Amino acid sequence: MKILVLGAAGMIGRKLIDRLLRDGKLRGEIITEIHAFDVVEGQFESTGSIAVSVEAGDITDAQTVTKLVANKPDVIFHFAAIVSGEAEADFGKGYRINLHGTQNLFDAIVDQDGYVPRVVYASSIAVFGAPFPSSIDDEFHLTPLTSYGTQKAIGELLLADYTRKGLMDGIGLRFPTIVVRPGKPNAAASGFFSNIIREPLSGQPAVLPVDKDVMHWMASPRSAVGFAIHAAEIDGDAVGPRRNLTLPGLAITVGEMIQALENVAGKKTANFIEEKRDETIVGIVNNWPRRFIANRAIALGFVSETNFEDIIQAHVDDELSGVLPG
């Protein structure tokens, strides 16, 4: 089993590769090779049975992507993208990477005659746009109101069409916002959802740029990796022709998140959060959906957390060695 991970240096990509190295198998087959690709080199080590190769490059370069696919990996995880805030701020860059990079990958697959890999494509709930019903079900239409959401929606359509034509075996995943992201803040407009938990748990201040009644759809990094693995292994016939899935998650307000933080780590930790409204972030977040009914994905076996305390505890266990702030 040969695996290619695009966006390997990102948070989900790193955790996915770590999980694959631990498991040693995917789709019931022994993993022999993992090729980790991103704009910067990630840090991974080969195991006794799995050879890990690391490469830095640009998915907007078609020749680079063609070389990646020439090895004919059995499964391709496509997580390479720039995030929502950056895609909105730099219109051209967003389309070059999020759309044209994806097109390069799909076309490179087609160029390998008779080659039909499983492709797991990271989409987003940003493909949906207002006005929203109280809960968005599997029948709701795609009307993105951001450049990032538009780029992901086009990618979904391409994935479905290439799969329909038998050119690849694609599964698109509309990820919830992933919280709590480890590391430093990124340029995603949704980054504050992680910041207001991660920084206080490390004894650092964090800024809350929106009102506490803002509700959003979330899942943990653990769940994100589980989603990716399950998408690689799921029976494509069971998915059917609608190849893009809205994933399960947890609908929760910012105020409820802060209360959960206080429940887990105490009021002193929650007091590190400072409310400082940012109208740009408010405007973006107001165009995002809040709650989903992910019946298709749940019926297909995708699972996530059901309370935010569990999401916080996953971060404490995985990133803080299980130690809460003193």
The residue from 95, 121, 148, 162 that is catalytic is: 148
* Single-letter code of the amino acid located at 317: D
| Full strand arrangement of the beta sheet holding 75-78 | 51-56, 33-38, 2-6, 75-78, 118-124, 169-175, 244-246
DSSP letter at 125? G
Using CA atoms, how far apart are residues 231 and 250, in angstroms rounded to an integer? Answer: 19
**Which position has the token pair 């090895």?**
71
Say how far apart CA 260 and CA 310 lie, in whole Å: 9
148 is an active site residue: yes
Distance of CA 257 to the CA centre of its chain: 20
Identify the DSSP state of 12.
H
Nearest to 82 by CA among 189, 176, 208, 194: 189
CB count, 10 Å around CB of 43?
8
What is the dihedral sign for C-alpha 165, 171, 177, 178? negative
d(CA 71, CA 89): 35
Q: Which of 213, 231, 212, 196 is nearest to 311 (CA)?
A: 196
DSSP label at residue 97: I
Q: How far apart are CA 290 and CA 285, in angstroms?
A: 10
Distance CA 195, CA 197 (A): 5
- In angstroms, rounded to a whole number, what is the distance separating the alpha carbons of residues 166 and 223? 29
> In angstroms, how far is CA 27 from the centroid of its own chain?
21
Active site residues: 148
